[in-house]
Each structure stands twice: as structure tokens, then as C-alpha cells.
Amino acid sequence: MNAPHAEQNDIAKTLGLATASHRKQHWLRWGGPAALILVTLTALLLWNAGGHDAEPRYQTQEARRGDLTVMVTATGNLQPTNQVDVGIEVSGTVASVEVDYNDTVKIGQVLARLDTSRLESQARKAAASLDAARARVAQMQASLTETGATLARLRALHQRTGGKVPSQQDLDTAEATFKRAQTEVASAQAAVAESAATLKMAQTELTKAVIHSPINGIVLVRAVEPGQTLAASFQSPILFTLAEDLTQMELHVDVDEADVGQVKQGQTATFTVDAYPDRRFPARVTQVRYGAQAVEGVTTYKTVLNVDNADLALRPGMTATADIIVQNVSDALLIPNAALRFTPPTQTDESKGSGSVVGMLLPRPPRSAPKARAQETNHGAEQHVWVLRDNQPQEVAIKVGATNGVLTQVLSGAIEPGMALITDVLNASTTP
């Protein structure tokens, strides 16, 4: 009896019938509880989905009256009103340096001196050449006088003898000698002028070997030391940089092309520097240049602001961030710019993905915020905002004016101070 039963079991295993029977028993044991859990989860999801039918909640801000200041922000560097680079036109060795950094100098004050030995020798040589040229002029003038007298005697003799003595050839030779003497005198006189010019140039170079201050100011840079050799053959070396008056400075900022139309001469501004982060310095626009500067695809225009630096707190080269006041509006009706960007979600967006059990079971990405409208804040441009009335958004058409990037002036429209404007939609999990 046992042998046939074992044989049947072997046949069942071979055909896979035993495994199928085991799986059937396993499904009957665990399928019921799993189905119950699935039904429960489905019921919970359906119950939660019913919560989405609640009305959305909105974040609002009130319109108000107040003053609006529109500013243009730009960065740049402080510079002296008049900065002079002092160089040298002659070559030589520096004998002495008379000033140092931060020294106050006056017009004509000696800044440095070169060793003038070579230049003095050149000047003496030029003076000697001038003396030699003048002596040659005297010699040529004596020869001219001599040849002139000889020519006059020959002409008189030729006239008394009726042309017999001297011969015409001798007379012609005397006339040619006289003209050569005249030419030599002129040449000697030209040599005198040349030697005089050479002497003057040598004297000028000797004078330039002493470097004087061209302005009243302060020494910003000293780029020379005693014993240094200077070569001014191709380019004049810069030895000192002087600032004329640091109590009055200029701030050169780069204004973006989108803002340059609002910046005008005479506008006031304030700026900060890293050295004094808690202090704001006053300034005034003195020039908006027409020349454009393009750096990495960004076009800017150089704008110059006048700065009072009576306490000498500011220094040349400091980086500053300036806020130029381009418009002031008093007692304006103001609304937040977020209200101009708001668009209420559509019914399709609210109900999307909630119409089927499969949609509720499958994970969905979080709902993104409503797509914002492009912010248009041009003066007089028509816009639309949404107000909350009876807990329902209602669209209102308005015309806007100036803006500072946070608040915008309302020129016309059915907006009153204190009216709640919708700026955003709060999620269901967000606490108001």
C-alpha cells in the first residue's frame, strides 16, 4: 500500500501538481486578510480624497497708503577728483627721493632728483660747441669782408681801364669767391643756431632731472627708490601718483542699461563701503556718460557721483554700492508686487488626479504653485489683481505706476486702502 502511494507522490511532484496544491493552500490562508487590508486602505484613500473638495485657503496682504521711493542700485569704485601720474622724460640714476606715501605736497615741491653728472657734461659740451660755432661765424665774416674788398678793387680798376684790367675771368673769380664767403657765413650762423638749440635741450634735460610736484595734493603711490636706474627711451616711467584733494572724491558706478534711462544729473544717492558697513555716505549724480561698456554680454553706462569726504574716511579704490534715488512718490496707494504675479488655480488643476481610485492609489508629485504672470510695472500699464470677497477670489483691473520691486503704486482701479489682495494659495497642510 505504501509503495503505490509513494509512487503517486513522485508522479505528482514530477508533474508540478504538489506545488500547485501547496500554493493554493497558501493563498487561501493569507489572501483573505490581504484583501481586507486592501479594502481598508482604499476606503481611507477615498475618505482623504473627499477632503480635497474643501475650498482653498488664500494668503492675502492689504493695500495701504504710504510714500514710495524708487532707487537704482549700482556698484563702482571711489576715485580722486584729480589724480596725476608723475613720470620722468630723461634717463639716469635716482640720487634721492624727497617724499613718501601719504605725504602732502605743494606745487613745485621737489619729489626726487637724478644724478646729473652725465647731463651736466652734455650741457657743457653743448655750450662749447656753441662757442665754436660763434667763432666760426666771426671767421667767416672776416673772410667775407676780405673777399668783398678784393672784389670792389677789381671792379673799380676794371672801370678805370675801360675793361682792360683785370680780365673778365679774374673778375668772375673774385665775384664767385665773394658769394662763397657769404654762403659760409650763413652756414656758420645756422651752426650757431643748432648749437644753441642743443645747449637748450641739454639744459632742459638737466632741469627735468629734478622732479617737481605739478599739483597740491597727497602722494598715493611712490614707485621709485634711491639708486634705481630709469630708462625713458621708449616710455616715460611713472614714479609717483598724486591725488589733488581727497576731501572731495568721485564715485564711478556702472548703471545697467535697463536703469540708465531713470538716472539723471542732480539726483541724490547714498552708498556703503565694506570698511564702514553700518554707515551710509551721501552723494550726488554729476554725470551720466553716453559711452557704453559691455562686459560678458552685460551693457552698462559709467555714472559719476560727487562725494564729500571732509573727514577723510573714504579712500581711493574702495568698492561702493550706491542706491540712486530716481523717484519719490508721496501718499501713494501701494500694493505688494506678489499680488500682481498671482493667478488663481483653475478647477482642472484642483480636481486633476482625484477622479479615480487608481489615481489616488498611485503616488503623485506635489502640486506646484500657480504659474505667475509676467511682472509688468511700466508706468500706466494695465494689470489685474485678485481680491478676496466672501472667501472667493474676484479679479480687479488696475493701472500701475512706479515700483521699487516690492511695492507698486496704483494709479487707478477699484482698490481701496485696507482691501485684502491675494498673493498666494495655501496648501491644505499649511497653517494660516
What is the residue-wise DSSP string for 337-359?
HHHHH--PPPHHHHHTT-SSHHH
Map residue 397 onto helix, strand or coil. strand
Q: Tell me, what CATH number does 338's domain have? A: 2.40.420
Query: And the C-alpha cell for 201?
Result: 635741450
Least confident stretch, 18-27, 105-114, 244-253, 393-402:
18-27
Provide the residue type at 377 as one letter.
T
Distances (CA, A) of 199 to 121, 175, 211: 11, 37, 20
Residues 186, 267: one domain?
no
| Number of domains comprising the chain | 4
Residues 384, 304: one domain?
no
Residues 88, 183: one domain?
yes
Out of 327, 355, 381, a domain closes at 327
Contact predicate 188/140, CB 8 Å? yes
DSSP secondary structure code for residue 261 in this structure: G
Q: 311-342 pLDDT, tens per residue?
A: 999 999 999 999 999 999 999 999 999 999 99
DSSP string of 149-212? HHHHHHHHHHHHTTT-SS-HHHHHHHHHHHHHHHHHHHHHHHHHHHHHHHHHHHHHHHHHTEEE
DSSP secondary structure code for residue 395 in this structure: E
Residues 27, 163: one domain?
no
Assigned domain for 431 exists = no
Q: Tell me, what CATH number does 293's domain have? A: 2.40.30.170
Assigned domain for 23 exists = yes
Residues 136, 198: one domain?
yes
Which has the closest alpha carbon to 129: 80, 70, 199?
199
* Mean pLDDT, rounded, for 112-122: 94
Core vs surface per residue 215-226: b (16+ CB within 10 A) or e: bebbbbebebee
Burial of 31 (0-12, 13-18, 19+ CB in 10 A): exposed
DSSP string of 272-316? EETTEEEEEEEEEEEEEEEEEEEETTEEEEEEEEEEE-TT----T
Out of 294, 327, 360, a domain closes at 327
Residues 210, 315: one domain?
no
Q: 24-37 pLDDT, tens per residue?
A: 555 456 556 666 67
Q: Please give the Cα distance from 202 to 131 (Å, whole number).
A: 15
Residues 166, 92: one domain?
yes
Q: 342-394 pLDDT, tens per residue?
A: 988 765 544 544 444 444 444 444 444 444 444 445 566 688 999 988 778 88
Is the pLDDT reported for residue 254 higher than 60? Answer: yes
Owning domain of residue 6: 2-50
* Mean pLDDT, rounded, for 119-148: 95
Residues 379, 393: one domain?
yes
Out of 230, 261, 284, a domain closes at 230
Assigned domain for 236 exists = no
Assigned domain for 237 exists = no
Q: 215-230 pLDDT, tens per residue?
A: 999 999 999 999 999 9
Q: Tell me, what CATH number does 106's domain have? A: 1.10.287
Residues 186, 104: one domain?
yes
Assigned domain for 175 exists = yes
Q: Quick one: what percent of the chain has pLDDT higher than 90?
A: 63
C-alpha atoms less than 13 angstroms from C-alpha of 380 in its C-beta half-sphere? 0
Residues 137, 199: one domain?
yes
Assigned domain for 432 exists = no
Query: And the C-alpha cell for 53?
Result: 473638495
Residues 42, 64: one domain?
no
Assigned domain for 256 exists = yes
Assigned domain for 31 exists = yes
Residues 192, 202: one domain?
yes
Greatest Cα pair distance in the chain? 189
